[in-house]
Structures are given as C-alpha cells and as structure tokens.
Amino acid sequence: MSRAETAGRVSPLWTFGLFRSELLTTFRRWRTLALLGVLAAVPVLVGVAVRIETGGDGSAGGGGGGGPAFISQITNNGLFLVFTALAVTLPFFLPMAVGVVAGDAVAGEANAGTLRYLLVAPAGRSRLLLTKYATVMAFCLVATLVVALSALITGALLFPLGDPTTISGTRIGFAEGLVRALLIALVVALSLIGVAALGLFVSTLTNSGIAAMATTVGLLTTVQILDQLPQLHALHPYLFSHHWLSFADLMREPVYWDDLTKNLGLQALYAAVFGSAAWARFTARDITA
C-alpha cells in the first residue's frame, strides 16, 4: 500500500489524536507559557496605570482623542478594560505572539530533527500542515481569551462594574455587555488568521525556527509601518492590519458591520493565499531533518 493510500485511510480519531498531541506540545512549551503570561500582564498594567492616574474616581482619563478608544470609560465601568486591553494588544503583542508560534510550527520541528519522524506517521504532509495551522489558530483563540479574561478580572477588582454605554450613547445590560465582549474577543482571534497563515508559510521556507520567527515578526512590523504612512493610503485597505480595530463597531447600537466584514474577508483572503503557498511549499519540499 502506498503512502498516499495509507494517508487517505487515516481515521478521524487518529487525526484528532495528532491535533491533541500538537496542542499539548505547543501549550507545554515554556516559550508559549511566557507569551501568554506577557499577554495576561498587559491588561493588569493598563488597569493599574489608569487606577493610579485617576485614583479610581474617574476624575482623570476622560480626555479626548488620545489613547485606545475605550480608555476614558474604564473608571466608570471595569468592563471597558476588556475592550481597551484588546485594542492595546492587537496592533503588536497578539500578532507578535501568533507570529512566534506560527513561525516555529514547521521550522522548529525541522531544526529539532523531528519533522521526518512526524511524516513517517500515516497522516501525510497535507494533514500534518493542516493540523499545524489548526494548532496555531487554537493559540490565537486562547491568547485572545487570556487577554480578555485578565482584563475582566482586573477591571472587576479595580473599578466598578455595571451596564455599559455603547459608542452610540445607548445603554445596554451588563449581561449583553459580556456577550459583546466575548464576540469582540472572537473577532480579534479571527483577525489573526492571516498572520497565522503568513507565519506558517515562512516556517516552511527554512529549517531554522529562530529565523522563521524573526522573519514573521519583521514582516508584521513592516506591514504596521506601511499602514501608518499617509503616502501609501491607496495600499492601506489591502494590508491585513488596516481593519484590525474595527471590532469597536461591535459596541455600537446598532452594530456597524461594514468594516467588520471587510476585516474578516481580508483575513480569509490572506489565509487562503498564504495557506496555499505554505501547502505548495511543504508538499514539494525535500525533508532532510
């Protein structure tokens, strides 16, 4: 029986076992735990900074256009720390963490000499690559939820909680505010699927995990810089980071969907392009490590 025939007969249970093994391997690494720890610390630092500046009485920090969109509301309602923390971490901390994990996904295995042994199993290259991508996507979700949960706990400890006021000025119930916070976290996680695919593609190009991680983070930084240059305004709508902060529209009443759908559609396009490039590279690659 050929390897292709064997791979085609892999049971779903075996595939789930491979995915579970990848999840355990990824989340047991000290590097992954350190990244999650840094992400969890960001909302704490933001909350403490706001508490020190305002004394918790809302006497300051209500200022105008500077800072993240929701920061002026934190002293009145700790729930807004969730939205602020996601706005703070999305431009750099979250994509950097995802870029590190995605960049190491394949290149790290090659560098450690374990990639050949993974391919001896009957999964096949395509299934293995898909499992790697699913694992990175799981990290995107976990990392985003870590930020949101840390912010919610910090906000509850340092500030009062209550019914939030939307950007449109209408008041919604606290339970609905929690639901919207969860939806925002999910949208933020989905906003990282393009970064995950980019990192996975870079990871298939080299046997050095460090080089793949550095290249991915470097590309992310470059895209962020390009998105800030007014001379390139015609290019901005096509950069995967351009609509990242559109999640704020989920706090409007009614919800404004245009930029949200543009963001998710653009992420899906990047995931398809770089995912296909990663598959083409990985399936044709001569594995020597």
Q: Point out the least confidently predicted range of 4-8, 132-136, 150-154, 176-180.
A: 4-8
Q: Is the pLDDT of residue 196 over 80?
A: yes
Residue 219: CA count within 13 A, CB half-sphere? 21
Grade residue 12 by pLDDT with cuts at 50, 70 and 90. low
Q: What pLDDT is stored for residue 167 in this prediction?
A: 87
216 burial level (CB within 10 Å; 0-12, 13-18, 19+) = buried
Which residues, 6 or more positions from 79, have their beta carbon under 8 angstroms from its beta carbon? 152, 155, 161, 162, 164, 174, 177, 178, 181
Gap between the Cα atoms of 255 and 234, Å rounded = 27
- Each as own residue / partner, the long-range contacts of residues 25-29 (CB below 8 Å, 24 or more positions apart, any chain) are 26/101, 26/135, 26/138, 26/139, 27/139, 27/142
Nearest to 159 by CA among 68, 84, 87: 84
Distances from the Cα of 268 to the Cαs of 145, 195, 259, 265, in angstroms? 21, 11, 14, 5
Contact call for residues 184 and 52 (beta carbons, < 8 A): no
**Per this entry, what is the length of the chain?**
289
Q: 188, exposed or middle or buried, with CB in 10 Å at 0-12, 13-18, 19+?
A: buried
pLDDT bracket for residue 57 (50, 70, 90)? low
What percent of the chain stands above pLDDT 70?
Answer: 86
Mean pLDDT of 149-168: 92
